[in-house]
Amino acid sequence: MTRIPLTRNPVPEAKAAAIRAAVAGATSLGPDSGASRLAALEDAAAFHEFLGDPQIHAPIYTLPRPLTVDSVRAFIADHVAQRERGTGLLFLTIDEQGRISGYSDLCIWPEWAAGELGGALHPDRQGQRRGVEGARQSFAWMFDTLGLDLICETASLDNHRTAHLLDGLGFSRMGEIVSQRADGTTRPSLVWEITREQWRKKHLLP
């Protein structure tokens, strides 16, 4: 098993502390504060139902296994604790009818000013490039608002949509690793990284 990020540049403690504070203070992902909100323990049953579709959970190695209401509640509780420590965030996207239409799971390594974004859209919303645009905005927010210097992503070898998405947003392929799921099983993953400077050049960040 290989841990990510592959690139690890230690940052001064003041910078790491600023990232922890930004994570601990975050309440929504990206500029559109109406679209996403932090997951709360009361969301466990609805979030479990959302995740139940294999088109959502199958490609994602970071979700709890087995997927039960209790394991999803524990997953949310763990992210509440991660937010307090400044090392992780879990957001739900809610549609006009009040249903969960997507989620985003951020893992942050303040000591390396690095982060990872995972997540999924409801299958009704997949295949329309909404995920591409949502990911672009989320990555920009991670550099801009959280103050990261590096984003590292993984995808299973057959997750062509995610591969296309990351290649298209300017990420560099870093090779193949073995990722471990919550139940200890493993899967091969492709790894991508992008630095703040590479993102700025590609997306003209100020």
The 32-71 site mask, x for binding ligand COA (CB under 6 A), equals ------------------------x--xx-----------
Angle, helices 13-25 vs 69-85, to 10°: value is 130
Shortest CB 163 distance to ligand COA, Å? 7
Decide whether 110 or 118 has the Cβ nearer to ligand COA: 118
Chain position whose Cβ is nearest to ligand COA? 131
Shortest CB 145 distance to ligand COA, Å? 21
Neighbour order of strands in the sheet with 186-195: 36-38, 88-94, 100-109, 114-121, 150-156, 186-195, 172-180
Decide whether 23 or 163 has the Cβ nearer to ligand COA: 163
Name which of residues 134 to 163 contact ligand COA (CB under 6 A). 155, 159-162
Decide whether 11 or 36 has the Cβ nearer to ligand COA: 36
Q: Return the residue of 16, 19, 72, 121 that touches ligand COA, per CB under 6 A.
A: 121
- Residues in contact with ligand COA, counted by CB under 6 A, come to a total of 21
Name which of residues 90 to 119 contact ligand COA (CB under 6 A). 118
127 interacts with ligand COA by CB under 6 A: yes
Binding site for ligand COA (CB under 6 A): 56, 59-60, 118, 120-121, 126-132, 155, 159-162, 164-165, 168
